[in-house]
Amino acid sequence: MKIIEESTMKTFTIFAVLLSTVLVACGGGGGNSVAGIDARGTPVPVAVVAKGTIAGFGSVIVNGVRYDTSAATFDVDDSPGVQGDLRIGQVVVVRGTLNDDSTTGVADSVQFDDVVEGPISSINMAAATITVLDQIVMIDADTSFDDRISPASIEGLAVNDTVEVSGFFRADGSIAATRIETKPPGTEFEVTGIVRNVTAANFMINNLVVNYSAAQLDNFPTGAPETGQLVEAKGNNLGGSGELLATRVEFKGNDIGGANGDQIEVEGFITRFVAANDFDVEGIPVITTASTAYVNGTSADLALNRKVEVEGTINAAGAISATKVEIKLAGFIRIEGMVDATTANSVTIFGITVGVDSLTRIEDKSNASVDPFRLADINVGDYLETRGYEDASGIVATRVEREDFQGDVAIRAFVDSVADPDFTIRGVLIQTNGSTTFRDINDQIIPASGFFGQAMGRLVEADGSLSNGGILADQVDLEN
């Protein structure tokens, strides 16, 4: 904060100081976005640390804020990089300043680290998980896939594929993947997690044994790994028992950092929960009070493994004093088809309006490969895959991907009418015939009568081809 020293302006100086103090206490333009106001009446941006998934480019959009990266440095997997190395859906840490509008800022640095990189040892289709270096990776509607993975789902992966996974930790140490990319064989193995079962030569990260006897050890407070520490281990080979032969192990600590009083925005899962005013997100303690605002729920909705975004300030102990907690809603709705119409903040598919906001991840996976890709680049007739949730405003997209049309369309939402052999989902006619396969929530084939006997009001996914403005279903699945 600047204070005018000339005595002739003493009155204005006192006013500016008082106004600055008020703005610090009140959070300025909403959400503690300014540190004060200078003597010229100009808002002073506040230092910010933000951890979340990349939703878009044209700068970098994280947690709904568009950060100007024109002067930023980039760290990609512990090496200097550029913005072009980053991808939609990767989890990054942005350090910089937040403007008074709370929707724009300036990045000083952007850091990306994957959570695991190595070969897939097993795939569980029913549970929608893969195992990489003995780490369980969960795949869901929030998972983006690299263009080289076809189809862009767990079905496009195979045992022994080498993959890089970005995502968030859950309470049990498993990883909720936000993006998966394939890597060439011979890529260095990497794994990040909490140390346990330490000996003089080994420790474990979940079920992976890490042999660190010959590793370079970086930044450890006592010089060696200790139980409970967050570390990243790297190596080129696995031992005879499947252990990682580490060449380097780095102490990560709190990988977010930040100074006392900095604004902080963290997306992730609740990994420790004692009470609504005492829990951890991404391993960072969070403190709430009676003045903490909640979005998409209340404090009663907080629980272990609930995905949230927490905003507040860092206190002297390194905890987040939360001003806002947003509960992330599951993106269970899926709509894939041709665009009927667009507006400044929505697309319409099958006559269903899907809202797009600053948190929606938008990616062009078509041959056009527009980058940066924005809602304004979507045209009527484009083929989109959308995932989202429903709130009081309607359907809100968490992901929108433009793809080249291959003849298939799909919808997943709640059934609103049944008239065997047809039914409707949000007013979209789903036709079935003797070639349609019906499956239950365990992915087991059931007769058509078994489906229609329980379909009304259920969450159902229908995949097929366009037919009279609706879908002629090849497969229909009851969803849990």
Same domain, 318 and 343: no
The CATH number of whichever domain residue 227 belongs to comes to: 2.40.50
| C-beta separation of 314 from 262 below 8 A | yes
Same domain, 157 and 204: no
The partner residues of 4 in beta bridges, in order of sequence, read none
94: in domain: no
Same domain, 383 and 337: yes
The residues, ordered by sequence, that sit 6+ positions from 272 with a Cβ below 8 Å of its Cβ are 171, 279, 280, 304
The partner residues of 263 in beta bridges, in order of sequence, read 48, 313
Compute φ and ψ for 467, nearest 5 degrees.
Answer: -155, 110
| Alpha carbon distance 344, 240 (integer Å) | 57
The CATH number of whichever domain residue 352 belongs to comes to: 2.40.50.320
108: in domain: no
| Alpha carbon distance 179, 115 (integer Å) | 11
Give the pLDDT confidence score for residue 31 in this predicted structure. Answer: 44
Give the tokens for residue 198.
């330490």
Name the nearest CA neighbour of 170 among 130, 136, 202, 121: 136
Query: Any idea what DSSP says for residue 84?
Result: G
36: in domain: yes
Range of the domain at 276: 263-327
Overall domain count for the chain: 6
Same domain, 421 and 474: yes
Running along the chain, 480 residues long, what does each successive block of 10 average in pLDDT? 36 32 34 51 79 95 96 95 96 94 94 97 95 97 93 95 97 97 95 96 97 96 95 96 97 79 94 96 94 96 97 93 95 95 97 96 95 95 96 93 95 97 97 97 94 96 95 95
Same domain, 322 and 346: no
Give the pLDDT confidence score for residue 9 in this predicted structure. Answer: 37
| pTM given for the model | 0.86
453: in domain: yes
Of 157, 183, 209, the position where a domain reaches its end is: 183
Same domain, 398 and 343: yes
281: in domain: yes
Same domain, 393 and 428: no
57: in domain: no
Give the pLDDT confidence score for residue 420 in this predicted structure. Answer: 95
The partner residues of 423 in beta bridges, in order of sequence, read 418, 430
Same domain, 123 and 169: yes
Of 133, 149, 183, the position where a domain reaches its end is: 183
282: in domain: yes
CA dist 247 to 120, 160, 188, 238, 356, Å? 21, 22, 10, 11, 44
Same domain, 393 and 424: no
Same domain, 247 and 270: no
Q: Is 301 left (phi over 0), alpha (psi -120 to 50) or beta?
A: alpha
| C-beta separation of 201 from 211 below 8 A | yes
Q: What is the pLDDT of residues 262-290, one digit of tens each?
A: 899 999 999 999 999 999 999 899 999 99
Same domain, 274 and 313: yes
104: in domain: no
Query: Residue 64 half-sphere exposure, CB side, CA atoms within 13 Å?
Result: 16
Q: Where are the alpha helices (DSSP H) in 426-475?
A: 448-452
Same domain, 156 and 194: no
